[in-house]
Amino acid sequence: MLRFFAFLLCGLLGPTVLSAAVPTPSPKVADAMVRIQATSQSPNYRIPWNSGDVSGGVGAGFMIGKNRIMTNAHVVSNARFLAVSKEGDPQPYPARVLFIAHDCDLALLTVDDPKFFKDTVDLPFGGVPEIESSVSVYGYPIGGDRLSVTRGIVSRIDFQPYSHSGVDSHLTIQIDAAINPGNSGGPVLQDGRVVGVAFQGYSGNVAQNVGYMIPTPVVNRFLKDVEDGSYDKYVDLTISYHPLHNPGMRKALGLPDDDIGVFVGSVHNGGVSEGILQTGDVLLSIDGLPIASDGSVKIDEGNVEMAEVVERKFLGDSVALEILRDGKPSKVTIPLDHTWPFTLQANAYDEAPRYVVFGGLVFQPVDANFMSEHRPEDLRLRHVFDQFVAQGFYTDRSEIVTLSGVLADPVNAYAAPFRYQVVDTINGEKITRIDDVAAAFAKPSDYYAIQMLGLGRPLVLERKAVESARERIQQRYRLTSEENLKK
């Protein structure tokens, strides 16, 4: 549904021809604009020992000072080489990534050649624009090679999923200006200040004139997070909460008819709220802001999801909650931390696929990248992946490991029916991550009995059969390495 702009940049990589006779739009903004040509290499989760296909794309970026260029994370994800060029300067310069934040789709680049920043301007940031106010979008969308500007109004300010990671939701501003592939990473301006970074939209056959930008609260959070030299990612309460509209339920929980309070559903094991919150607690306020029964709080920018309060915090911060439990109010403070295990279900970038090959059997950990490339139909595998958090499977194993492929050879002639089953144990040792598979096969044993989840028979490999097949399989399948355990 949501489509990355960066994915649609094919065929626009021709040389930029500049002509002095053509007037450039809004000279000051044009002097801050950067056209980014990214050459990326996405890993191949079907042949994890291969280095992956190389592809190219074009996105936008803009200068924000201190020789830094802001763009979207998805423009420079998995990048092998980045070339940036300025409006009106034919020379492309090599660039490198300073910081990349996949959870909020933002990145900072720099160019080592100081010549690049000569005669450029830095764009200042503004606040959250008013609904219905007009904005201008700058970028390099399809339809030509040079800078393009489109205008529109602010349609909606809301919490929206960010499709780059697939699991994160942050504050988002919807605008009706035409945003097309190539606009990604470009600034959205109002009164000469950046009020957002264009990043995603709907494809034309789903909705018309719906474009999204990352607003300045999210951008500022990212800039503040990297001030200490590293990006620490978002933090979370690791709970689920639900609106409290039902009059009977409000009465039962001892709440007045004042439309305040949300209901705590799941408190995830191992998360920061475990032992502090419990299912059935009512959250009344967060950092002193009353929480409405639909989960919204009123802040400067208007009514936003209460999660926005947590969103603006950093690793090591804490949040103060007023709660009602068994009819009694109390105050709790929760120190915030990362959102594991949800990250298993997020699209990952700049990571090498991990795998172990033994006797031609390929074992891989199951994550979002794996699922989107393999698209396994196995019901159990889909179930443990989808319900990894909801059913608490992560408390049992930190990773799901599956037999993802069989490099056909006499040694594994009967292994094909086991494909996409979930590995439970090897020689009785529980497999909780891919490293356990490597460790189990490293232990000397005459037989390796691989038991999958469910009621089936074990898959058995004889050590001597595996050893005699080893070289043959490596050569036949161009297996450059039998394992990779590093991300």
Name the residues annotated as catalytic: 74, 105, 184
For residue 336, the minimal CB distance to another protein (Å) is 21
Strand order in the sheet with 423-426: 429-430, 423-426, 447-452, 459-462
Asked if 371 is part of the footprint of another protein (rule: CB under 8 A), the reply reads no
Q: Which of 94, 192, 329, 456 binds another protein (CB under 8 A)?
A: 456
CB atoms within 10 A of CB 77: 22
Footprint on residues 79-138 left by another protein (CB under 8 A): none
Asked if 249 is part of the footprint of another protein (rule: CB under 8 A), the reply reads yes
For residue 238, the minimal CB distance to another protein (Å) is 13
3-state secondary structure of 390: coil
d(C-alpha 455, C-alpha 433), whole Å: 21
- Between residues 263 and 349, which has the closer beta carbon with respect to another protein? 263
Segment interacting with another protein, rule: CB under 8 A, options 283-291, 330-338, 375-383, 397-405 = 375-383
Amino acid at 400: I
Nearest to 94 by CA among 79, 112, 77, 108: 112
Segment interacting with another protein, rule: CB under 8 A, options 81-89, 130-138, 228-236, 387-395 = 387-395
- Between residues 214 and 384, which has the closer beta carbon with respect to another protein? 384
Output the six-digit token pair for 436: 């356990």
Asked if 242 is part of the footprint of another protein (rule: CB under 8 A), the reply reads yes
d(C-alpha 339, C-alpha 315), whole Å: 11
- Between residues 13 and 413, which has the closer beta carbon with respect to another protein? 413
Asked, as a colleague might, if the bond just before 341 is cis with ω within 30 of 0, I would say: yes
Amino acid at 165: S
Nearest to 426 by CA among 450, 404, 447: 450
Nearest to 484 by CA among 349, 331, 351, 299: 351
Count the alpha carbons within 13 Å of 369 in the hemisphere toward its beta carbon.
20
For residue 361, the minimal CB distance to another protein (Å) is 12
Asked if 266 is part of the footprint of another protein (rule: CB under 8 A), the reply reads yes
Q: Which of 386, 396, 429, 467 binds another protein (CB under 8 A)?
A: 386
d(C-alpha 361, C-alpha 465), whole Å: 13
d(C-alpha 41, C-alpha 37), whole Å: 13
DSSP 487: -
Asked if 406 is part of the footprint of another protein (rule: CB under 8 A), the reply reads no
Q: Which of 158, 337, 462, 482 binds another protein (CB under 8 A)?
A: 462
> 109, 95 in Cβ contact below 8 A?
yes
Q: Which of 2, 153, 178, 449 binds another protein (CB under 8 A)?
A: 449
d(C-alpha 467, C-alpha 410), whole Å: 12
- Between residues 84 and 267, which has the closer beta carbon with respect to another protein? 267
Segment interacting with another protein, rule: CB under 8 A, options 53-61, 79-87, 140-148, 264-272 = 264-272
Asked if 383 is part of the footprint of another protein (rule: CB under 8 A), the reply reads yes
Output the six-digit token pair for 205: 């056959």
DSSP sequence for 164-182: TTSSEEEEEEEE-S---TT
- Between residues 25 and 458, which has the closer beta carbon with respect to another protein? 458
Q: Which of 313, 380, 419, 433 binds another protein (CB under 8 A)?
A: 380
Q: Which of 13, 206, 207, 390 binds another protein (CB under 8 A)?
A: 390
Q: Which of 372, 460, 480, 481 binds another protein (CB under 8 A)?
A: 460
- Between residues 195 and 324, which has the closer beta carbon with respect to another protein? 324
Asked if 335 is part of the footprint of another protein (rule: CB under 8 A), the reply reads no
Q: Which of 219, 400, 461, 473 binds another protein (CB under 8 A)?
A: 461
Asked if 444 is part of the footprint of another protein (rule: CB under 8 A), the reply reads no
Q: Can you say how many angstroms the Cα of residue 218 is from the centroid of all Cα atoms in its chain?
A: 14
Asked if 275 is part of the footprint of another protein (rule: CB under 8 A), the reply reads no
In which element (H, E) is residue 426 found?
Answer: strand 423-426
Asked if 265 is part of the footprint of another protein (rule: CB under 8 A), the reply reads yes
Q: Which of 18, 299, 352, 465 binds another protein (CB under 8 A)?
A: 465
For residue 474, the minimal CB distance to another protein (Å) is 20
CA distances from 380 to 316, 364, 373, 437, 486 (A): 37, 16, 17, 20, 26
Q: Which of 44, 67, 240, 343 binds another protein (CB under 8 A)?
A: 240
CB atoms within 10 A of CB 430: 13
Asked if 416 is part of the footprint of another protein (rule: CB under 8 A), the reply reads no
For residue 278, the minimal CB distance to another protein (Å) is 9
Output the six-digit token pair for 43: 């890993």
Asked if 329 is part of the footprint of another protein (rule: CB under 8 A), the reply reads no
- Between residues 192 and 280, which has the closer beta carbon with respect to another protein? 280
d(C-alpha 92, C-alpha 18), whole Å: 13
Nearest to 95 by CA among 146, 18, 38: 38
| Positions in the binding site for another protein (CB under 8 A) | 240, 242-249, 251-253, 263-266, 279-280, 377, 379-380, 382-383, 386-387, 390-391, 411, 413-414, 447, 449, 454-462, 465
